[in-house]
């Protein structure tokens, strides 16, 4: 990790190797030693001014790399319930690192309001991978300084987060600043970054960045001051109407952003999404709101819901392309966020685990029947693959020498009778999803006799 920009100048005298050789005059010796050194210093300053770090290829010829990428993940929950602890304990061994939300700062009347996350340090200190801390800072319009009351408050908070972690046996690998910064304020943001560096060293400081920042002249100095950054290529623009195109990550745009970031030369990781949203629209198709954990109680009655999720197959292909060839400045992928068992719209671990391991994502679902008692049959679907099943399905059930006494579909399945010895369980129009690795009971039948049943499944 490179030091921030303001630490360069105290090291400049080390570039002047005196004294001169015996027998040389002052003028000759000075030119031999000092002139090349002055040129080197000028080159260093020019690189710093342009935003290009020392020791990298020219901006128009970024070096390339190949091979498997390190994969990390965010843990962004504000409450460390048992499913969160279980996810860290079970899956961290497959990852190169975790970044955990440690605190959030919001602003009210220009004054900071802090929410600190009660981290489970016993879980984190036993995680078999490095752990970094994330400080989320809400939108702030300025002013910015390295030493005013706002900077002192934020850096003091950062110091206390690191001190708390160390007191509980956790040595953070980095402090990641996730600031909701306007593109026009990046120059001011740099002052904060330098203040963070001074206060938390030797813990490295990393910042998150948006693709739209890459074209700002103030962006290279910002990330050069930090030393590294996380390029977030996922977002959801506010939809105007219910039929607006929705995507969380466009792979083509993500690749363009990575190539553009490589020209700056500062090391970076790429943040990719695993999550989804429910978007709500009123009766006229106008946008009402969105939620990451199911319908909101504040939405009006009769809203129309539309779901948008990160596409695992597209992102798996994107990661495989980067494994084949990528800019050398791209040093890994960090997923938002680590799958937890009780997530509503996030991927399950089998999906992310397959991508992390470099495997193609399998789709595999099977039917299971269980005799609850003589004549009573329970029908379940089991997703044994690594991809959520979201297709409309039809399951035709057949038997012999018995009549149907009763039956019903469960969840999003309905029972459709088809004759004296056959019925169908089929999904309703409402979208249905079976997450990877999960099992769902979708219906039951009671027959007049205890009989075996045969089931054929097809997609509608």
Mean pLDDT of 312-330: 97
Last residue of a domain, one of 356, 376, 391: 356
Portion of the chain with pLDDT greater than 70, in percent: 86
Q: Is residue 283 situated within a structural domain?
A: no
Mean pLDDT of 199-216: 97
Q: Is residue 123 situated within a structural domain?
A: yes
Q: Are residues 197 and 342 in the same domain?
A: yes
Decide if pLDDT at 158 tops 50: yes
Q: Are residues 35 and 70 in the same domain?
A: no
Last residue of a domain, one of 323, 356, 389: 356
3-state secondary structure of 92: helix
Which is it for the CA torsion 86, 90, 95, 96, positive or negative? positive
Using left for φ > 0, alpha for ψ between -120 and 50, and beta otherwise, residue 391 falls in beta
Using left for φ > 0, alpha for ψ between -120 and 50, and beta otherwise, residue 362 falls in beta
> With bands split at pLDDT 50, 70 and 90, how would you rate the model's confidence at 295?
confident
Rounded to whole angstroms, how far apart are CA atoms 74 and 72?
7
Q: Are residues 390 and 318 in the same domain?
A: no
Q: Which domain holds residue 169?
A: 64-275+310-356
Q: Are residues 342 and 379 in the same domain?
A: no
* CB-based burial, 16-25: b 16+ in 10 Å, e otherwise: eeeeeeeeee
The predicted structure's pLDDT at residue 25 = 35
> With bands split at pLDDT 50, 70 and 90, how would you rate the model's confidence at 40?
very low
Q: Are residues 144 and 12 in the same domain?
A: no
> With bands split at pLDDT 50, 70 and 90, how would you rate the model's confidence at 430?
low
The predicted structure's pLDDT at residue 49 = 39
Number of domains in the chain: 3
Between the ranges 21-25, 172-176, 232-236, where is the mean pLDDT highest? 172-176
The predicted structure's pLDDT at residue 401 = 95
Q: Are residues 68 and 42 in the same domain?
A: no
| CATH code: domain of residue 181 | 3.20.20.80
Of 61-65, 128-132, 297-301, where does mean pLDDT reach its minimum?
Answer: 297-301
Mean pLDDT of 13-36: 31
Last residue of a domain, one of 296, 324, 356: 356
Rg over alpha carbons for the chain, rounded to the nearest Å, is: 28
Q: Are residues 99 and 215 in the same domain?
A: yes
Q: Is residue 398 situated within a structural domain?
A: yes
Decide if pLDDT at 192 tops 90: yes
Cα 56 off chain centre by? 27
Q: Are residues 117 and 16 in the same domain?
A: no
Between the ranges 6-10, 128-132, 285-289, where is the mean pLDDT highest? 128-132
Decide if pLDDT at 91 tops 80: yes
Rounded to whole angstroms, how far apart are CA atoms 271 and 165?
24
Q: Are residues 315 and 424 in the same domain?
A: no
| CATH code: domain of residue 398 | 2.60.40.710
Q: Is residue 336 situated within a structural domain?
A: yes
Mean pLDDT of 395-412: 95
Decide if pLDDT at 244 tops 90: no
Q: Is residue 453 situated within a structural domain?
A: yes
Of 14-23, 76-85, 248-257, where does mean pLDDT reach its minimum?
Answer: 14-23
Decide if pLDDT at 215 tops 50: yes
Decide if pLDDT at 35 tops 80: no
Mean pLDDT of 135-139: 97
Of 20-24, 94-98, 231-235, 353-357, where does mean pLDDT reach its minimum?
Answer: 20-24
319 touches 354 (CB < 8 A) = no
Among 252, 245, 175, 256, residue whose Cα is nearest residue 212: 256
Decide if pLDDT at 95 tops 90: yes
Q: What is the pTM of this model?
A: 0.82
Rounded to whole angstroms, how far apart are CA atoms 58 and 374?
76
Q: Is residue 300 situated within a structural domain?
A: no
Q: Is residue 299 situated within a structural domain?
A: no
Q: Are residues 94 and 119 in the same domain?
A: yes
Among 410, 406, 395, 396, residue whose Cα is nearest residue 448: 406
414 touches 392 (CB < 8 A) = no
Q: Are residues 400 and 418 in the same domain?
A: yes
Q: Are residues 211 and 112 in the same domain?
A: yes
Mean pLDDT of 194-216: 97
Decide if pLDDT at 339 tops 80: yes
Rounded to whole angstroms, how far apart are CA atoms 306 and 277?
8
Decide if pLDDT at 38 tops 60: no
Q: Is residue 406 situated within a structural domain?
A: yes
Q: Under 8 Å CB-to-CB from 301, ≥6 apart: which residues?
A: none
More confident residue, 158 or 307: 158
């Amino acid at each position: 990790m490179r030091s921030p920009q303001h630490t360069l100048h105290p090291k400049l005298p080390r570039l002047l190797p005196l004294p001169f050789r015996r027998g040389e005059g002052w003028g000759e010796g000075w030119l031999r030693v000092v002139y090349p050194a002055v040129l080197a210093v000028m080159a260093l300053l020019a690189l710093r001014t342009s935003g290009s770090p020392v020791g990298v290829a020219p901006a128009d010829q970024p070096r390339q790399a190949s091979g498997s990428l390190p994969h990390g993940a965010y843990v962004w929950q504000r409450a460390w319930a048992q499913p969160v602890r279980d996810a860290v304990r079970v899956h961290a061994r497959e990852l190169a690192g975790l970044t955990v939300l440690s605190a959030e700062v919001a602003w009210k009347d220009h004054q900071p309001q802090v929410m600190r996350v009660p981290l489970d340090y016993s879980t984190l200190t036993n995680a078999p991978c490095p752990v970094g801390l994330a400080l989320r800072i809400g939108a702030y319009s300025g002013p910015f300084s390295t030493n005013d009351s706002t900077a002192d408050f934020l850096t003091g908070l950062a110091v206390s987060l690191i001190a708390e972690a160390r007191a509980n046996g956790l040595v953070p690998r980095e402090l990641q600043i996730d600031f909701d910064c306007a593109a026009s304020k990046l120059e001011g943001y740099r002052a904060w970054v330098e203040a963070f560096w001074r206060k938390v060293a030797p813990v490295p400081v990393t910042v998150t960045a948006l693709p739209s920042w890459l074209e700002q002249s103030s962006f290279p100095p910002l990330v050069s001051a930090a030393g590294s950054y996380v390029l977030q290529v996922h977002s959801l623009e506010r939809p105007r109407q219910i039929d607006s195109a929705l995507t969380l990550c466009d792979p083509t745009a993500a690749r363009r952003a990575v190539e553009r970031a490589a020209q700056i030369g500062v090391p970076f990781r790429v943040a990719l999404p695993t999550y989804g949203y429910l978007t709500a629209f009123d009766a006229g198709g106008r946008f009402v709101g969105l939620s990451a954990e199911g319908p909101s109680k504040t939405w009006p009655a009769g809203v129309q819901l539309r779901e948008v999720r990160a596409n695992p197959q597209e992102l798996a292909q994107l990661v495989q392309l980067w494994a084949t060839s990528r800019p050398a400045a791209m040093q890994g992928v960090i997923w938002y966020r680590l799958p937890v068992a009780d997530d509503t719209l996030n991927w399950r671990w089998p999906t992310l685990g397959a991508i992390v391991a470099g495997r193609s994502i399998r789709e595999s679902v099977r039917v299971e029947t269980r005799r609850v008692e003589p004549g009573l049959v329970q029908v379940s679907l089991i997703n044994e693959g690594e991809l959520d099943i979201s297709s409309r399905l039809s399951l035709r059930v057949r038997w012999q020498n018995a009549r149907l006494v009763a039956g019903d579909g469960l969840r999003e399945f309905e029972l459709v009778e088809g004759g004296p010895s056959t019925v169908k369980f089929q999904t309703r129009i409402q979208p249905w999803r079976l997450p990877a690795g999960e099992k769902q009971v979708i219906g039951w039948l009671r027959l007049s006799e205890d009989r075996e049943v045969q089931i054929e499944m097809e997609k509608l």
